[in-house]
Amino acid sequence: MVFKRRDARSWARVALEFFWPKGGWTRAASYVMHRLRRLPDSPERIARGVFAGVFVSFTPLFGLHFLSAAAIAIIYRGNILAALLATFVGNPITFPIFATMSLETGYWLLGSEFRIPLTQVMPAFGEATSQLWKNIVGVLTGEPTHWEQLARFFHKVYLPYIIGAIIPGTLVGLIFQYASLPLIRAYQRLRSRKLLERVEKRRAAQIRALAEAEAADWEALEDDEDTTPPPRPRLRRKKV
């Protein structure tokens, strides 16, 4: 295959690079920002796409962040690729912060006294996913299903999480949107200026090459005129 890696990564290495990318998070963040600035779209649409990606990072839609970010970008008239790239904001380093903000806001909005520890959030999602899969299999095979645990998870964890994500997700998303907008504009202006200078240099080089070629043709023509001998005079015969 053309794009196949020469050295196949083990599952341990894949898991390690998920939490700590090769080159570090700083290099990964600079790469994402570089890709965002080079997108072929207006700065406003790219910035709105950034909002969509950041907003989705606060939600508990794990496994559906890309689809959710694309859907919000379409509704918000933002750049879809920018939204997908901006979901990078939600990573293992920022997850504890985003999850805490969303859950605490949700509990506050719903007036709930229940508080799930942050260390139990992902295990709760894992158990809920396993229970949901067992119930789906049970419906298909006729085995008994149990929805009580899922109902408890929905009301105590998922509902506060997704409702609470609206306020911090919107605020942080707007901050990223309006902070990235001038950077994208400045980068695109700089890139357009460099592209114009490159075109002008290429055009000047072409004009200079044409002028040099024309001058060389004129010099060759003058040399031919200097080396050509004058025509011999024709002798007239005398009449007898």
Is pLDDT of 17 > 50? no
Per-residue pLDDT of 100-112, as tens digits, reads 999 999 999 999 8
- Amino acid (one-letter) located at 11: W
User: What mean pLDDT is predicted for residues 116-133?
Assistant: 88
Nearest to 204 by CA among 193, 212, 214, 215: 212
Is pLDDT of 2 > 50? no
C-beta of residue 27 within 8 angstroms of C-beta of residue 21:
yes
The pLDDT mean for the chain works out to 79
Per-residue pLDDT of 33-66, as tens digits, reads 556 556 667 889 999 999 999 999 999 998 889 9
C-beta of residue 51 within 8 angstroms of C-beta of residue 177:
yes
Alpha helices in 146-229 (DSSP H): 148-153, 159-164, 166-227
pTM reported for the whole predicted model:
0.69
Neighbours of 86 (CB within 10 A): 30
pLDDT at 164: 95
Q: How far apart are CA 230 and CA 186, in angstroms?
A: 68
- Domain coordinates in residue numbering, the chain: 11-195
Residue that wins the pLDDT comparison between 220 and 71: 71
